Amino acid sequence: MLFSFSSLLALVRLMRPHQWVKNVFVFAGLVFSQRWDVLALDFSVLQAFAAFCCVSSLVYILNDWHDRASDALHPVKRKRPLASGAVTAVPALLLAAALLAAGVALAAGNRTLLLLLALYVALNIAYSWGLKQVAVVDVSIIAAGFMLRLLAGTVAVGIPPSRWLLLTGIFMTLYLGFCKRKAESFQEESSQRAVMAGYPPALIDTFIATTMTATLTTYSLFTTSPEAQLQHGQRLMYTVPVVVFALLRYTYQVHRGQGEDVARDLLRDGWLLGAGALWLFIFLSQRF
């Protein structure tokens, strides 16, 4: 065997597949446009989702390769495959190349999607190799990555993006980014990333409160807008209390030290999962 089972498992861990849950932003346009009965659109959005899964894993591998020496000194990050030595540089970079080829192949024929993927990779490389040390800029890049996913699921597949959806998406992703920094502030100072020196606790709390308020405001305005009322009736408005609960619950969890890994912590909290299920139930209640 060329690779042992443990080596293959380490390569899978290197891709961080649990982070692919972030790519569900690609489906936002399809869900809110309610055009999932168009099979061609479904296939295009699934391709965009798969392409983002490939390039996001590519970015994680490049980041871990670049930071492998410093990660080896970190009490938590030293367990990552490259930092721990479970995966060496050559297999990691070969896997990164394969993921890049797969992402390009999935987006082939769609110039807009290829451009969005290229911007995503470029932004994240700039983030990983320098801009993550600049306060506010770091979180803005994280938010931009989510917005590129959202645009990939709308513009790239021919679904006109709602201005309210874009506004809500911007504020929500900024909120999640600042929550991540808040969670990191609970680590021992020696384990914190350098940019945390630019984030006093009171400032992070202000940023979280501001972006959460903006998220709730724009989402509420979206649910009561004429376009939403015409397309979704009253049921979308009934999801507002669910969204309020979910954001408050997540903020509570962040202040308990969770939220550093958004994808992992969202999936571990039963109340948040329940809120997501309830939102989906209300949203679909009059659809079928």
pLDDT tens digits for range 5-52:
677 888 888 899 888 888 988 988 888 777 777 788 888 889 999 999
Question: What percent of the chain lies above the pLDDT cut of 70?
Answer: 95
CA distances from 63 to 58, 59, 79, 96, 239 (A): 9, 6, 15, 11, 37
pLDDT in tens, 78-125: 888 888 888 888 988 999 999 999 999 999 888 989 999 999 999 999
pLDDT for 164 equals: 85
Answer yes or no: are the C-beta atoms of 48 and 90 closer than 8 Å. no
pLDDT at 121: 93
- pLDDT for the residue numbered 238: 92
Considering the chain, what is the average pLDDT of its residues?
A: 86
What are the C-alpha distances in Å from 25 to residues 22, 66, 144, 152? 6, 27, 12, 9
Cβ distance 117 to 103 under 8 Å? yes
Q: Give the angle subtended at the CA of 180 by the CAs of 24 and 67, to the nearest 5°.
A: 90
What's the pLDDT at 286? 59
- What's 161's DSSP letter? P
Over 79-139, what HEC string results? HCHHHHCCCCHHHHHHHHHHHHHHHHHHHCCCHHHHHHHHHHHHHHHHHHCCHHHCCCHHH
The pTM for the full model equals 0.82
Counting beta carbons within 10 angstroms of the beta carbon of residue 32, is it exposed (0 to 12), middle (13 to 18) or buried (19 or more)? Answer: buried
- Phi, psi at residue 187, to the nearest 5°? -70, 160
Which tens digit of pLDDT belongs to each residue from 182-240?
A: 888 887 766 677 788 888 889 999 999 999 999 999 999 989 888 878 777 788 899 99
Q: Is the pLDDT of residue 257 over 50?
A: yes
Confidence band (pLDDT; 50, 70, 90) for 3? Answer: low
Give 1's pLDDT tier (boundaries 50, 70, 90): very low
